[in-house]
A and B are shown apart, each in its own frame.
Chain A
């Protein structure tokens, strides 16, 4: 007890004070463990924490490829968010790539393939544990599209800046060969995060031409006469028509059931026409009556088999659902059957209709991503053809092909003909607006099969909504068919 100088056991108090200091430092360590390990996710995931963004843009973004050629790139800006997206030929591929913006997120393939493109997809790294250990992100991967560059270019050139869209698919697999929307925009102007990007964003969003609207998959149009393919398919499959050349007993004009509205035709010779000539000359009266004869149940079933009323389609980004209204009276059904009333379709949906007809009634799920690869080209994941369903009987499909081929050979779609190939098509001039005062949309859906080929090679749908043209000049055969022809020729290589 006795100590030098004082007589009180100072050593004891020194030990207490030392223990106190140790306690302080231990508290620091415990708290550091709380922040760094236990609750680190809360801090990491805070939207105000820029680290995730810095990491995301800290290395070049993977590329989107058309064929072997990347249509995208990355540029090192040297800023805090280092790499910005660039696009080669941005407007041409904008409906496919979408944009990858540091300010406004991602859309379309940039969005659907973001895991691979940004390098976060766990499949990309051959040794995931090793990357976790080193905490270094692996290089980003690439997304290879199914697009056919020449078909895409032909479609874009054909639209020539007019409002409209083109969708082309391979009927036997569902591969999307062309997806064009016009007018388009350069997604590169949205890549960064500066003042210029903000104003470009505002300008694009307020543009009355809606250049950022992807008309091929996100806009539905009344399909007009092109929908007669579906009505004919339903009539043949349901047995309402058994002989293409038999008279259908349809009046001209046709009185919509339960109303006094008279439905007429643009062309003559529709009274009591056979299905073949009615299809060739696009008789509204015949197909309105056929739809009513087939009945709402069969019409809805066939339309849905082709993909109408399906909100779940993804290619891999979502496609706006095309609609065929199942709750209609007979007059509405008559109008629905000629692609009016509440019947609406995306260009991609109409391409799917043509494709299913071309491939013996078999519908394949459309897809846009051929495969995803690592930086060095090794495949990470491949996608293949997925059959959806047998939409119509193969025999029905064969007879429909005959009807469609007649249209191109000698009907309203002669401008889609390609020497050396069998081409089938259907024109459409869809009225819309209150009292049909709007400028009609010109449609053309078709498929083509080279003479030396065993299978159809391409199905395409074109819509042109040209506000500048006179009403009389807008027609599927005049405006849309040549675009479809050029796209098909690009695919056939002629």
Chain B
């Protein structure tokens, strides 16, 4: 493995003789964008109050100051330990987290006995704390490669943990400790991404070049495939036992994407799709819970026609439709009609109703930008583990957004999952901040070692 930046290609060398190319750090831009993100969040917070009561909510200053302090500490950590990192990660994280807090605060107005925003703010603080810790402590992401098997053991342990706890709302994905609900599966995502990246980086040549050729597709041998499929089956099996299909879908997608990027074998995609179809059919047949989700997706208004009133999905669709192009305005929609999980799985419906298609498009663009920046960091790196890690983390975000946003808008069957940063849920927010921290670490390596060969 060669270190980038010490040698260049003839072309680059000709343009930049001898001297090391240093990219601009762009920390000033990051700071300006963070200030903008905090201001936008405070504006949203005030808009809710103005729409509901005609006054600026009393907590506006405290809320803005809290979010601002958190964001600035994160910025300082980046400035100190990851000065070359892409300047977009942190502001996007802050803006999405701030917007999520605004939406949850807004929904709290409808449920005076069930306030979720304060707890979410505490979790956000923990998340940014973890972000700062990762940025400060983890000096080089390649260290993680050494702990691949520790990671996978921890991930499987976390996934298995909720089986020991009682099911909540039909899914065994929560554990309750001292009044806090924790979803260990959320943390397992990052650990599994680290393991997949490390394992595939080490074995990608074996995976790519061995195996049989069938028609135009090359299939790998069982020897290399064995361990990884075993681990994948284990994690998926645990998830099916826990009935958390969203996460199961996410792991599967992550696995297939990383396998493809590592080997470039389209045969992997064929195997993946085949497995997905088989799995979907089997689970759909066996699990009444899943079967019901598919029925709901195909016929969202079946309960209405049966005279039982609208189900959550139809209420969610009603909310999106009510938003139209420009939305009703923050605080003026009726997405609370969705009822249970309006603040978590269905949080996007509130955004869709009150901010309209315009606001929703903006939110999707923020996610797209986050994912694209992650991929770009992967492209700019020169070593496979970092590349796969960046691609894996960015893909987790993209897939998670697709699975839950597609679910609540009726594009695909609904599976419970948290909208990254927006949805109520402590484990999710903490995990997403860990993902952004790792992306910043990877991106810092990529841009500080830039050799002028690839787009940074």
Contacts and interface: CB of A to CB of B under 8 A. Distances in A.
Interface of A: 4-18, 20-22, 24-25, 27-29, 31-33, 35-37, 39-44, 46-51, 54, 135
A185 B1 CA distance: 91
Contacts of B402: 24-25, 27-28
Contacts of B372: 18, 22
A36 B310 contact: no
A253 to B, nearest CB: 64
B352 interface: yes
B304 A48 contact: yes
Interface in B409-452: 409-411
Contacts of A18: 371-372, 375, 394
A13 B264 contact: yes
A28 B375 contact: no
A25 B361 contact: no
B328 interface: yes
Contact of A32 (B310, B318, B361, B368): B361
B334 interface: yes
A25 B320 CA distance: 17
- Give the size category of B's interface with A: 35 or more
Given A18-B394, A24-B402, 15 more contacts: A5-B384, A6-B204, A6-B208, A8-B204, A11-B454, A14-B391, A15-B379, A28-B411, A32-B364, A36-B325, A40-B322, A42-B321, A48-B309, A49-B321, A51-B322
Interface string B355-377: 01100110010011001100100
B387 interface: yes
A29 B361 contact: yes
A24 B249 CA distance: 14
B301 interface: yes
Nearest to B375: A18
A40 B328 CA distance: 14
Interface stretch (B67-75, B186-194, B255-263): B255-263
Interface centre among A7, A9, A14, A33 (most CB of B within 10 A): A14
Interface of B: 1-2, 4, 201, 204-205, 208, 257, 260-264, 301, 304, 309-310, 314, 317-318, 320-326, 328-329, 334, 337, 352, 356-357, 360-361, 364, 367-368, 371-372, 375, 378-379, 382-384, 387, 391, 394-395, 398-399, 401-402, 405-406, 409-411, 454
B264 A14 contact: no
Contact of B337 (A5, A28, A32, A50): A50
Nearest to B326: A135
Contact of B387 (A10, A24, A51, A135): A10
Given A7-B205, A8-B208, A24-B399, A37 B324 contact: yes
Contacts of A47: 304
9 contacts: A5-B201, A8-B263, A13-B262, A16-B260, A21-B371, A21-B399, A31-B406, A40-B321, A48-B314
B324 A25 contact: no
A7 B262 CA distance: 11
B406 A9 contact: no
Contact of A17 (B257, B301, B323): B257
A42 B454 CA distance: 49
